[in-house]
Amino acid sequence: MPEKTQKKQRSLSTPIRVIGQWLDSDFRREELLSPESLPDQMNWERTLPFIFLHLGCLAVFLVGFSWVSAASAIFLYLLRMFAITGFYHRYFSHRSFKTSRVVQFFFALLGNSSMQRGPLWWAATHRHHHKHSDEKIDAHSPIHHGFTWSHIGWLTSMKNFPTDYQVIPDLKKFPELVFLNRFDQIVPFVYGLLMISIGAALEIFAPSLNVTMWQFFIWTFFISTTALLHGTLFINSLAHVWGKRRYETKDDSRNSFVLSLITLGEGWHNNHHRYMNAARAGFYWWQLDLSYLSLKFLSLFGVAWNLHQVPKHILEEGRKSASAQKSSVD
């Protein structure tokens, strides 16, 4: 290995760099401008948030259960999942509809609270995935890298850490989004404090609900966020190996009703890889896509508009393919 590269990799392991990048993901960015030179392996420092998140779920055995805490966790899972699927994915990554600057920032905040990093990193990484789907350089292809790496291992690799601002020129012009992207630990921290505050208020002012401050926090922060993280990551690790293929695409993407329920519609992944610019992943009326239905609802009030639809020839192609598959089985 060239001496210059060795020095760069040693510098990436210094405590100053580690702490700096926890606080600012663009810290010492000049060392990250050539990600191909970075090691493509699990970085144990990057696993700490995920270890913390999962260990926190175990505290449920100490704080117990209440219907209010559990229902709140489910509601916040659904709300933040929509922020990821509807906005991080369909809006920031694919620009499949239009909205206002205020609304895009609001949902960027919500998505950021899910501990899936900033919206610009998410969009840049996803655009790279579509460009190289199921190729060896696809960061989370289960075909080449296996289940564990494609599910969560790739997130901890320094090779996948930098934000490639060159592929998101349409997004990097918004300073508020760049701020969220750089300082992506602030929103989850504030979200956690908010959950503690709400839990404390419920414990003090509504004791009949049997909610305690720590119980509410564990359910709404740790359990809800961990479930949300894995729900999203299942699309990377499972939706390219499990399900049915309506369309012949260059990758091995699949459609799954089960994954669509978990992710509010993202499980129609083969559809999405056939035509990624649509605001809907469920192309047909029987393919439940709650994210798209939510976007349609927002469009009634002018919050979202110009929802990009699936071209008729793509729909017809899918019908013919399904018919041919059924005939071959019969």
* Domain-located, residue 131: yes
For residues 13 and 115, the model is more confident at 115
Confidence of residue 5 (pLDDT cuts 50, 70, 90): very low
pLDDT at 302: 98
pLDDT greater than 60 at residue 135: yes
* Domain-located, residue 32: no
* Domain-located, residue 77: yes
Average pLDDT over residues 301-329: 92
* Domain-located, residue 305: no
**Residue type (1 letter), 24:** D
> Tokens in use for 30?
């000049």
pLDDT greater than 50 at residue 303: yes
pLDDT at 6: 46
The residue range of the domain holding 155 is 49-237
For residues 150 and 32, the model is more confident at 150
* Domain-located, residue 255: no
Q: What are phi and psi of 120, to 5 degrees?
A: -75, -40
Confidence of residue 29 (pLDDT cuts 50, 70, 90): low
Model pLDDT for residues 151-178, shown as the tens digit of each residue:
999 998 888 988 999 999 999 999 999 9
* Domain-located, residue 75: yes
* Domain-located, residue 289: no
Average predicted confidence (pLDDT) for the chain: 91
Confidence of residue 324 (pLDDT cuts 50, 70, 90): confident
Q: Please tell me the least confidently modeled range out of 3-12, 156-165, 209-218, 302-311.
A: 3-12
Sign of CA dihedral 43, 115, 239, 131: negative
Query: Model's pTM, two decimal places?
Result: 0.92
As for how many domains the chain has, the answer is: 1
Cα–Cα distance between 74 and 77 in angstroms, integer?
A: 5
**Residue type (1 letter), 29:** R
Backbone region of residue 156 per phi and psi (left: phi > 0; alpha: psi in -120 to 50; beta: other values): alpha
For residues 161 and 280, the model is more confident at 280
For β-strands 304-305 and 98-99, DSSP reports them as: antiparallel
pLDDT greater than 70 at residue 139: yes
The number of residues in the chain equals 330
pLDDT greater than 90 at residue 67: yes
Confidence of residue 147 (pLDDT cuts 50, 70, 90): very high
* Domain-located, residue 23: no
Helix (H) or strand (E) holding 304: strand 304-305
pLDDT at 40: 76
pLDDT at 17: 72
> Tokens in use for 66?
């209440």
Confidence of residue 230 (pLDDT cuts 50, 70, 90): very high
Cα–Cα distance between 80 and 106 in angstroms, integer?
A: 11
Confidence of residue 327 (pLDDT cuts 50, 70, 90): confident
Confidence of residue 26 (pLDDT cuts 50, 70, 90): confident
pLDDT at 97: 98
pLDDT at 142: 94
pLDDT at 36: 63
Share above pLDDT 70 across residues of the chain, in percent, rounded to a whole number: 91
